[in-house]
Chain A
Amino acid sequence: GENVEQHPSTLSVQEGDSAVIKCTYSDSASNYFPWYKQELGKRPQLIIDIRSNVGEKKDQRIAVTLNKTAKHFSLHITETQPEDSAVYFCAAGWGNQFYFGTGTSLTVIP
Chain B
Amino acid sequence: EADIYQTPRYLVIGTGKKITLECSQTMGHDKMYWYQQDPGMELHLIHYSYGVNSTEKGDLSSESTVSRIRTEHFPLTLESARPSHTSQYLCASSSLGGTEAFFGQGTRLTVV
Contact = CB atoms under 8 A, between A and B. Distances in A.
Query: Is B truly associated with A?
Result: yes
Contact of B43 (A34, A42, A49, A103): A103
Contacts of A102: 41-42
A100 B43 contact: yes
Q: Is the interface of B mostly helix, strand, loop or mixed?
A: loop
Interface residues of B, number: 20
A32 B41 contact: no
B74 interface: no
A66 interface: no
A89 to B, nearest CB: 6
A46 interface: yes
A103 to B, nearest CB: 4
Bin the interface of chain A by size: 10 to 19
Given A34-B99, A43-B106, A46-B101, A96 B94 contact: yes
Interface string B91-103: 0001010111101
A45 B103 contact: yes
A15 to B, nearest CB: 23
A95 B45 CA distance: 16
Q: Is the interface of A mostly helix, strand, loop or mixed?
A: strand
A32 B41 CA distance: 22
Contacts of B104: 43
A1 B59 CA distance: 8
A89 B105 contact: no
A42 B104 CA distance: 9
Top 9 A-B pairs, shortest CB-CB distance? A103-B41, A43-B103, A100-B43, A102-B42, A46-B100, A44-B103, A96-B31, A87-B41, A43-B105
Interface of B: 31, 35, 40-43, 45, 50, 59, 90, 94, 96, 98-101, 103-106
29 contacts: A1-B59, A32-B99, A34-B99, A34-B100, A34-B101, A43-B90, A43-B103, A43-B104, A43-B105, A43-B106, A44-B43, A44-B90, A44-B103, A45-B103, A46-B101, A49-B99, A49-B100, A87-B41, A89-B43, A96-B31, A96-B94, A98-B101, A99-B45, A99-B59, A100-B43, A102-B41, A102-B42, A103-B41, A103-B43
